[in-house]
């Protein structure tokens, strides 16, 4: 992927570990990226943020889509656990949906996860209200089932 403003291929991508680190990376057309080097330190378990900054013109973009963001906006990784509504769940109160999303805050993360849950429940798209997927948990990183960061 190239910067939509200047055509540069190098971006700075932030990531969370025990601290926030920045990486110099090339973003591929499919939204994946290859890190070239850490700009601060060598980091292990990382949760990359969902946006990148062009190294030439400071254009702020969404990694997955290339959409341009306002300067200073950060898309942070969130894990959201939602309770399925009674009209979808086979056993209400026991069925959950887990989403890994990028958002600027927890409220946006819940909204994004609820919309994703509707898309993933195609049989109910016309009758379901995203807000019927009740948020049980919002974590400020992408977490696997054991509670470890991914």
Q: Where in the chain are the domains?
A: 10-73, 77-139
pLDDT at 135 over 80: yes
pLDDT band at 97 (very low <50, low <70, confident <90, very high): very high
Our separate counts of H helices and E strands in the chain read: 1, 9
What kind and span of H or E run contains 110?
helix 106-119
CATH architecture of 77-139: Roll (3.10)
Give the residue with greater pLDDT, 40 vs 73.
Answer: 73
* pTM of structure: 0.75
Q: What is the rounded end-to-end Cα distance, in angstroms, of the chain?
A: 24
């Amino acid at each position: 992927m190239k910067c939509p403003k200047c055509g540069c291929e190098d971006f700075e991508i932030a990531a969370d570990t025990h601290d926030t680190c920045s990486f110099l990376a090339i973003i591929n057309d499919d939204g994946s990226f290859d890190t070239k080097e850490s700009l601060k330190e060598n980091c292990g378990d990382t949760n990359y943020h969902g946006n990148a900054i062009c190294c030439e013109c400071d254009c702020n973009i969404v990694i997955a889509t290339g959409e341009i963001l306002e300067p200073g906006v950060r898309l942070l990784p969130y894990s959201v656990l939602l309770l399925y509504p009674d009209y979808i769940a086979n056993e209400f109160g026991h069925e959950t949906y887990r989403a890994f999303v990028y958002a600027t805050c927890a409220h946006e993360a819940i909204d994004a996860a609820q919309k994703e849950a509707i898309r993933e429940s195609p049989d109910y798209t016309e009758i379901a209200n995203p807000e019927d997927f009740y948020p049980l948990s919002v974590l400020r990183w992408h977490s696997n089932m054991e509670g470890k960061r991914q």
